[in-house]
Amino acid sequence: MENQTFPATLDSLDDLRDLVRDKALRANLDKKKTYKLMLALDEIATNIILYGYEQAGKEGVLDVITELTGDHLKIVVEDDAEPFDPLQKDLPGETDFSKPLEERPIGGMGIFLTVNGVDSFQYEYVNNRNRNIFIMNIQGTDA
């Protein structure tokens, strides 16, 4: 397990993507899975930074814990903002996505891409911290 701390500002998004890219490379994830994992982290981190911290007038950090095992890469993002479970938010669905773009609601797209992009997404609130958990299964060496 490795732990890295980032200031909870939008400037950290670049560094966060670099971290995920690096871990994904080590986990031998293919290009598409790497991109989806980077996107998922980016979307959730953005929500935490903008709504959990900035909108609440708080400063803080994101702790990113990575764990690579034989069959999966797990990345956990922890923060001290108010409890927020992304999975409790109403997500856009097929009916929204089939609407013309002129009438499209725009909210919730980031969480939708997160939940649909990773193999498993979980949320916990433990020790007064939000924990967003991203898991990518590792495919065989033929990938």
Partner 1 sequence: MNVTSKTVQDITVIEAEGSIDSKTAGDFERGAMGPIQGQNAVILDISKVDFLSSAGLRVLLMIYRQIKSRNGKVVLLGASEEIQDIMANTGFLAFFILVDTLDEGIAALKS
From the list 1, 31, 90, 140, which residue makes contact with partner 1 (rule: CB under 8 A)?
Answer: 31
Interface with partner 1 includes 126 (CB under 8 A)? Answer: no
Neighbours of 57 (CB within 10 A): 6
Give the CA dihedral 71, 133, 106, 82, nearest 10 degrees. Answer: 180
How many helices (DSSP H) and strands (DSSP E) are in the chain?
4, 5
Residue 78 Cβ vs partner 1, minimum distance, rounded to whole Å = 20
Neighbours of 25 (CB within 10 A): 10
Residue that the structure tokens 């856009």 belong to: 92
From the list 7, 13, 65, 133, which residue makes contact with partner 1 (rule: CB under 8 A)?
Answer: 13
Kind plus residue range of the DSSP H or E element containing 87: none
Site for partner 1 in 33-72 (CB under 8 A): 35-36, 38-39, 42-43, 46, 49-50
Q: Which residues bind partner 1 (CB under 8 A)?
A: 10-11, 13-14, 17, 31-32, 35-36, 38-39, 42-43, 46, 49-50, 92, 96-102, 104, 106, 109-110, 112-113, 116-117
